[in-house]
Amino acid sequence: MGLVESGKLPKPLTKLLNISRKYSMWVYQWGLACCAIEMGSAFASPRYDVMRLGVIPFPASPRQADLVVISGTVTDKMAPAIRRLYEQMPDPKYVISMGSCANCGGPYWDSYSVTKGVDQIIPVDVYVPGCPPRPEALLEGIVLLQEMVANEDMAAKWKGEPLVVN
Amino acid sequence: MTAVSERQQLAYIASQAADMRVNVELETEGMTLNIGPQHPATHGTLRIIVKLDGEQVVAADPVPGYMHRGYEKLSEVRTYPQVTTLINRIDWLGSFANEVPFILAAERLMEVEAPPRAQWIRTILFELSRIANVALFLGDMAVQLGAVTPVFYAFRDREYVLNLIESATGGRFHPNFDRIGGLKDDLPKGWIAETNQVMQKVQAFCDELDALLLGNEIFNVRTRGIGVVPAEVAQSYGLSGANLRASGVDWDHRRDTPCGLVYDKLDWKVWTHPDGDSYARYWVRLQEVREAAKMVVQLCDGLPPGPIMAKVPRIIKVPAGEAWAVTENPLGEMGYYIVSKGDLVPDRVKIRSASFNNISIVPWLLRGVYVPDVISILASLYFILGDIDR
Amino acid sequence: MSRLSSTDTDSPESDAPVDTARTALLEALAGEFGDAVLGTHLDPGRDVWARVHTDAWEAVGRFLRDGLDCRYFCYLSAVDWLPSPFGRSMDSDVDNLLEGVGAKEPEPMTHGVTGGDTRFQLIARVYSIAAHLGVHLKVDVPDDTHTIASWTRVYGGANWHERETFEMFGITFDGHPSLRKLYLPGDFEGFPLRKDFPLVSRLVKPWPGIVDVEGMPGVADDEGGDPS
């Protein structure tokens, strides 16, 4: 698709591609703390069933993921691992920060070992508040992200640079 | 002298030679395998560095701390009611159970006692959080051994229990419902009838897993005789809960340590298993979920009327002193050692969490096992990262 | 404050219930170690404390395990008795920041039950499953060296607990096979659970207020009471 890389994609084609991307999100789960269980409920339980939104959980590796959900407390010890995970994902990549801890430190705002928000390490697209957020809240976060993806201008996103996997 | 025929001698030599060949061909240099900190098989963020000789583990070194949030320090700068909010999140699957020993220790220092109804409701919620916690283990252990179905069942039936906890406390995960001197609120209307129904579902879930897994040959091969912990070693490492009872030690705080809960008024049984292997740990936990469901039904039947809050001052100042309170949490023995200097905030809170001790046996236990058994052993020891790292 | 500052042994009052099992345990300990048992405290029916001399620490562990059947190792940790130079970190005074928080006059150091002579005290609990009897042990950690004998040769489980105590309090254990950090990243400086370790977030962003009052269920007045 030379058109994508040249940044001269016609609008209808952009729309088509965006719809395809929005309904085939492979989500990598980065379960850290309490939120991981609620994320598990959203992804693996029959009641919430994330796949009906066109989101496919549990890819084999971050290399094949479009989206990562950081769910739980990020500690200073964990931060380098998260950074490395993010770098392994191919562009375009999206991040959902789930729960108060990942958003801003949450109840551990004054702790000596907790990173005050995952956005200090990697860029975040959608913040889901709550401690922990209910699975429905995570699903809403995913829907919001899908809306964002649907309205994205691919040329702005890639600026004509070739796609590189780090 | 035993007469050995030439034929037997030759067969022996041939078999020895075959063994030798296998050893030579499969010989590998030592290898270090890093599992984690984020890996599906560690269910959480435990990192384990394993030194391998071929397929065999020579040494295993768990590296905890990826979830260390500093509860003990943070408790020193929070008032007693604020601490309960925090400690809910230690063992996040059975949150209510984390609050109880802390509240009991504080009540002991203040010399107040919760009224009977509050004690009964506490016990109900305590056992419900046990079911919510251990039910996930029952599914998760199977998924780590390659059987995907049970985890869906676990999530399905766990939701019913979480609904109960939510309708009673307002919190699906972290109730923060316990107060010094009682509870925040009474049970809602119609809750008891619903609970009885859900407990039938829980019993059915246990029967289902029993039928699905315990007779399954693959499950048996993967767990029987794997990761055997002798009773003596288990005690010296401070293993507790189902891990200890699976080694044949008949000890349960619910029965043996009188505290502010009403287990002595119930008809129930402490299950033990003599084998001490992964299978035993799974089996004991399965029985415990059954017992817990039975207990909840009995508790709902006998729930006494009355107030749910004792007389306590509105601003809680705990008299100076030291107290230790312990309960049998879903993961094992959980205790709080509170040092108070008569202030609004505790001076020191030592949190004795079960998983920390349970997982400290891993270097001892993994020595000499094969790589696939590492997964089975870790899964059956059952830890929650927040409970290890605190 | 009387209970906190008491350094004596338990003084049973006339109406206090008698706890024979725990008293017997204390007597056995005193009989074996004599003067090395520096203080005891008994909370009848609930718990028992004994403070032993620093030099006897490992021997006490062995005697408890072999002589008194306390083979179950519960936990080991430490207490820093220094009054916090930062107060409760909750007094939301801007003055704290201006004048420097460390400038406050520290309160005198007090020790808990069974007394103590040093800033740091180890506290450990072992349990006899057969007798359903647990005992809390305390021991002073010398102020100059912060070093004490390790229990790893007595209880296998002490390994991680001692590593945690080393990391959190800076107490060194003699004879520990691998005393290194357990939780924190390798480049972390300081010992978080020491009282003079500041929570930096609290210093730069003071807590809005310490009073945290929640209405009791069903009542609106100042006293807690029966819900309707």
- Which CATH number does the domain housing residue C40 bear? 3.30.460.80
Comparing A44 with B293, which gets the higher pLDDT? B293
Range of the domain at B130: 78-354
User: Per-residue pLDDT tens for C167-215?
Assistant: 889 898 888 888 888 888 888 888 888 888 888 777 776 665 555 555 5
Has residue C136 been placed in a domain?
yes
- Confidence (pLDDT) at C46: 81
Average pLDDT over residues B353-368: 88
For residues B202-212, average pLDDT: 89
B62 belongs to a structural domain: no
Nearest-angstrom CA–CA distance, C204 and B214: 56
Judge contact between B199 and B293, C-beta under 8 A: yes
Residue C204 is assigned to a structural domain of this protein: no
Could you give the angle at which helices B116-144 and B95-110 cross, rounded to 10 degrees?
150
pLDDT band at C2; cut points 50, 70, 90: very low
Contacting residues of A for B151, CB less than 8 Å apart: 44
Asked, for residue B19, whether it belongs to a domain, the answer is no
SS (H, E, C) chain B: CCCCCHHHHHHHHHHHHHHHHHHHHHCCCCEEEEECCCCHHHCCCCEEEEEEECCEEEEEEEECCCCCCCHHHHHCCCCHHHHHHHHCCCCCCCHHHHHHHHHHHHHHHHCCCCCHHHHHHHHHHHHHHHHHHHHHHHHHHHHHCCCCHHHHHHHHHHHHHHHHHHHHHCCCCCCCCEECCEECCCCCCCHHHHHHHHHHHHHHHHHHHHHHHHCCHHHHHHHCCCCCCCHHHHHHCCCCCHHHHCCCCCCCHHHHCCCCCCHHHCCCCCCCCCCCCHHHHHHHHHHHHHHHHHHHHHHHHCCCCCCCECCCCCCCCCCCEEEEEEEEECCEEEEEEEEECCCCCCCEEEEECHHHHHHCCHHHHCCCCEHHHHHHHHHHHCCCHHHHHC
Closest by Cβ to B93, choosing from A30, A37, A75: A37
For residue B43, being part of any structural domain is answered with no
Question: Could you tell me which of C112, C126, C122 has the C-alpha nearest to residue C193?
Answer: C122
Chain C interface disruption, residue of B117, B245, B339, most C CBs within 10 A: B339
Residue contact A116–C185, C-beta within 8 A? no
pLDDT at C1: 35
pLDDT band per the 50, 70, 90 thresholds, residue C6: very low
pLDDT at B77 over 50: yes
- How many domains, chain B? 1
Q: Give domain status of residue C26, yes or no.
A: yes
| CB-based contact B131:B292 (threshold 8 Å) | yes
Q: Is the pLDDT score of B346 beyond 80? A: yes
Contacting B residues, span 310-349, partner chain C, CB-CB under 8 Å: 310-315, 319-324, 333, 335, 337, 339, 341-345, 348
Sign of CA dihedral B34, C189, B362, C175: positive
Shortest Cα distance, chain B CAs vs residue A117, angstroms = 13
Cα–Cα–Cα angle for A139, A141, A147, nearest 5°? 105
pLDDT for B23 equals 65
Residue C39 pLDDT greater than 70, yes or no = yes
Task: Please check whether residue B63 lies inside any domain of the structure.
Answer: no
- The residue segments making up the domain with residue C122 are 9-81+116-197
Nearest to A41 among B74, B155, B385 (CB): B155
Compute CA distances C168 → A112, B70, C78, C189, whole Å: 12, 10, 9, 11
Total tally of structural domains belonging to chain C: 1
On whether residue B323 sits in a domain, the answer given is yes
Say if B155 falls within a structural domain: yes
Mean pLDDT of B80-101: 87
Out of B235, B310, B343, the one facing C71 most closely (by C-beta) is B235
With CA atoms as reference, report the closest residue to B377 among B386, B364, B390: B364
Residue B312 in any domain: the answer is yes
- Residues C47 and C23: beta-carbon distance below 8 Å: no
In a domain, residue C94? The reply is no
Six token digits for residue C111 = 């020790």
Flag if A81 and B74 touch (Cβ within 8 Å).
no
pLDDT-based confidence at residue C11 (cuts at 50, 70, 90): very low
Position C98 scores a pLDDT of: 45
Nearest to C73 by CA among B360, B217, B223: B360
The secondary structure of C65-116, three-state, reads HHHCCCCEEEEEEEEECCCCCCCCCCCCCHHHHHHCHHHCCCCCCCCCCCCC
CB contact under 8 A, B155 and A46: yes
Tell me the residue type at A137.
A
- The CATH number that applies at residue B188 is 1.10.645.10
Of the candidates C211, C212, C198, the residue with the CA atom closest to the CA atom of residue C89? C198
> Is residue A3 over pLDDT 70?
no
Q: Which chain A residue lies closest to B88 (C-alpha atoms)?
A: A34
Say if C203 falls within a structural domain. no
Please answer yes or no on whether C183 and A113 come within 8 Å at the CB atom: yes
In a domain, C153, yes or no: yes
**Per-residue pLDDT at C50:** 87
In-domain check, residue B140: yes
Q: Please, which residues 38-97 of chain A have a Cβ atom closer than 8 Å to chain C?
A: 76-77
Q: Does B309 touch chain C (CB under 8 A)?
A: yes
Distance from the B141 Cα atom to the nearest Cα atom in chain A, whole angstroms = 15
Would the pLDDT of C105 be above 60?
no
Average pLDDT, chain A: 82
Residue C202 domain-assigned (yes or no):
no
pLDDT band with cut points at 50, 70 and 90 for residue B84:
confident
B91–chain A nearest CA distance, Å: 8
Whether residue C225 lies inside any domain: the answer is no
